[in-house]
Amino acid sequence: MKTELKFESAPSIATELMVVLAADASTSKDKDASAQPVLLTKDSAIAGADKPVLTSGEFNASICEALLLHSPRELKSKRLLIIGLGKLSKVSVQEIRKAAGAAVRFAKPRGIRQVTLILPELEAVSLPAAARAVVEGAFVGDFDPDTYRSDRKDRSIEQFTVVAPTAADKKSVEAAFREGGILGDSQNFTRALVNEPGNVMTPTIMGERAAAMCKEQGLQCEVHSTDKIKELKMGAFWAVAQGSDEPPALIVMRYEPPSAKKDGPVLALVGKGITFDTGGISIKPADGMEKMKYDMAGGAAMLGAMRAIAQLKPDVRVIGIVCAAENMPSGKAYKPGDVVTAMSGKAIEVLNTDAEGRMVLADGLHYAKQLGATHLIDAATLTGACVVALGMVNAGVFSNDDATYEHFHKALEISGEKFWRLPVEDEYRDMIVSHIGDITNTGNSRWGGAITAAMFLKEFVDETPWIHLDIAGVAWMEEQKPWIAKGPSGVAVRSIVEWVRSYAK
């Protein structure tokens, strides 16, 4: 999808589809009061164009509601699509991002290849913020997961144009527009990786995709396999990997801007890259097991984030680490009751081989510290318990340090992604005490499973400021929405990038 930003008068632009956003300006608290849709543009030709339809009661401007008009008299465009943002008093960048995605998803099945969207003029949302959101949203809407359909028609939008008012501050709108493109495109890069089936996306292939991306983006990259993992004494990572015929991959990416201060922070992004999670010897039920191809979504998020960072060039050093392995049952697989020694020297008693994500991350986090990380963030489809706690709306976020969490919380305000903080407290530590070794890889009861998993990771993080993202419930969209297809969501990429940028000068 090519993107373009124009500072022009929208009616004179020839395009297949012009999109204008609308909101419901009615203020009555009475639920039954009729909506008062208004178009969010100061362009009088457009604003006045569709009075009859706006007052007909057929269109309420509710969130992502769409209304299509053909051959609008006042415009050069072939069609005019009006998309609702809901109540005017509640409109934020979130609704704008979704509306842009919905516009793209409206156009695609109709064979429309050019979409032009008029930036909404609102008091509550600045033009740069809106510009960024619409581009992000358009990319998100443009992704479809049917890669392997034999009759697939590539319905990708060829050209997405944003029209800003001529009076806008060009520089800031342009910068935001560019950022939105980088972030949306990188989110889709992650989604494409997560979408791949387990037979295609093996740890080796994940390593190759990472290396290719790094080469393209000018990042340093090393991909290690079995020998190095053993040499580094990554006993927890290897325990998981040893059950598969597919060799593991330890992906290490580096972004080192020359301008970054020598004694400045070094941020490490550590991702769970389980390319397929059968559960291992503690095997999962057959029902739904096919979904476990997305158990590398945390790792893929780190690849997407590194890709965006390489393009946005923040003034801070970043290391990306992905621990990729396949969790399989076999004659070589690790077993419940096994005791393995992690790279940090801690002895882990394996109670359940399906709690493999925390095993690979234990060594990934420790390694990140060895490489000089001052701040850690990890992302993983770690626990079903997190899905029980938060459903498929919010992901879980954990932190051992309020200041670091504050950086992430601010990042969420920009990214618009939904994460809910859950506790990391010593009282939970009792639940992972081992009688034979140092810690167990699952809690001693099923309660608080997302928290005991976080407590396990904390053992390998120690005092280093750290954020843990459990994205099990939100990395895969179980249903399509007007603005996004069913399938991989690419969650966490945008928030991680904003978190990183918050440490730049």
- What positions carry a catalytic annotation? 284, 358
174 vs 158: CA distance, rounded Å:
20
Q: Is 264 helix (H, G, I), strand (E, B) or coil?
A: coil
Q: Is residue 196 at the binding interface for Zn ion, with CB under 5 A as the rule?
A: no
456 vs 151: CA distance, rounded Å:
46
Find the binder of Zn ion among 295, 349, 378, 470 (CB under 5 A): 295
Q: Is residue 243 at the binding interface for Zn ion, with CB under 5 A as the rule?
A: no
Q: Is residue 277 at the binding interface for Zn ion, with CB under 5 A as the rule?
A: yes
* Residue 352 interacting partner from Zn ion, ligand BES, none (CB closer than 5 to 8 Å by kind): ligand BES
Asked if residue 41 lies in contact with residue 10, where contact means CB atoms within 8 angstroms, the answer is yes
DSSP-derived letter for residue 148 is: T
Three-state SS sequence of 159-195: EEEEEECCCCCHHHHHHHHHHHHHHHHHHHHHHHHHH
Closest Cα to residue 496, out of 365, 404, 364? 404
Interacting residues toward ligand BES by CB under 6 A: 277, 295, 352, 354-357, 381-385, 387, 442, 449, 472
Minimum distance, C-beta of residue 412 to Zn ion, in the bound complex (Å) = 24
Nearer to ligand BES, 246 or 295 (CB): 295
**Could you tell me which stretch among 88-96, 202-210, 243-251, 289-297 binds Zn ion (CB under 5 A)?**
289-297
Asked if residue 17 lies in contact with residue 112, where contact means CB atoms within 8 angstroms, the answer is yes
Question: From residue 440 to residue 469, what is the string marking binding to Zn ion with x (rule CB under 5 A)?
Answer: ------------------------------
* Residue 161 interacting partner from Zn ion, ligand BES, none (CB closer than 5 to 8 Å by kind): none
Q: Name the residue whose CB lies closest to ligand BES.
A: 384
Minimum distance, C-beta of residue 504 to ligand BES, in the bound complex (Å) = 32
Q: Is residue 357 at the binding interface for Zn ion, with CB under 5 A as the rule?
A: yes
- The 10 Å CB-count burial string (b at 16+, else e) for 366-391 is bbbbeeebebbbbbbbbbebbbebbe
DSSP-derived letter for residue 12 is: G
Q: What is the per-residue DSSP string for 13-25? A: ---S-EEEEEEE-
Asked if residue 151 lies in contact with residue 52, where contact means CB atoms within 8 angstroms, the answer is no
Nearer to Zn ion, 3 or 383 (CB): 383
Instruction: Please count the residues of this chain forming the interface with Zn ion, following the rule CB under 5 A.
Output: 6
Q: Residues 6 or more apart from 445 whose CB is under 8 A from it?
A: 431
Asked if residue 275 lies in contact with residue 326, where contact means CB atoms within 8 angstroms, the answer is yes
Asked if residue 120 lies in contact with residue 84, where contact means CB atoms within 8 angstroms, the answer is no
Minimum distance, C-beta of residue 381 to Zn ion, in the bound complex (Å) = 6
Q: Tell me phi and psi for residue 329, to 5 degrees.
A: -90, 135
Asked if residue 217 lies in contact with residue 307, where contact means CB atoms within 8 angstroms, the answer is yes
Nearer to ligand BES, 68 or 388 (CB): 388
Nearer to Zn ion, 357 or 490 (CB): 357
Find the binder of Zn ion among 354, 417, 459, 498 (CB under 5 A): 354
* Residue 387 interacting partner from ligand BES, Zn ion, none (CB closer than 5 to 8 Å by kind): ligand BES
Minimum distance, C-beta of residue 503 to ligand BES, in the bound complex (Å) = 29
353 vs 441: CA distance, rounded Å:
8
Nearer to Zn ion, 277 or 363 (CB): 277
Minimum distance, C-beta of residue 353 to ligand BES, in the bound complex (Å) = 8
**Could you tell me which stretch among 14-22, 56-64, 126-134, 346-354 binds Zn ion (CB under 5 A)?**
346-354
Count of beta carbons in the 10 Å neighbourhood of residue 480 = 13
Q: Is residue 326 at the binding interface for Zn ion, with CB under 5 A as the rule?
A: no
**Could you tell me which stretch among 56-64, 135-143, 228-236, 272-280 binds Zn ion (CB under 5 A)?**
272-280
* Residue 383 interacting partner from ligand BES, Zn ion, none (CB closer than 5 to 8 Å by kind): ligand BES
For 371: left if phi > 0, alpha if psi spans -120 to 50, otherwise beta; the answer is: alpha
Minimum distance, C-beta of residue 328 to Zn ion, in the bound complex (Å) = 11
Minimum distance, C-beta of residue 354 to Zn ion, in the bound complex (Å) = 4
Q: By CB under 5 A, name the binding residues for Zn ion.
A: 274, 277, 295, 354, 356-357
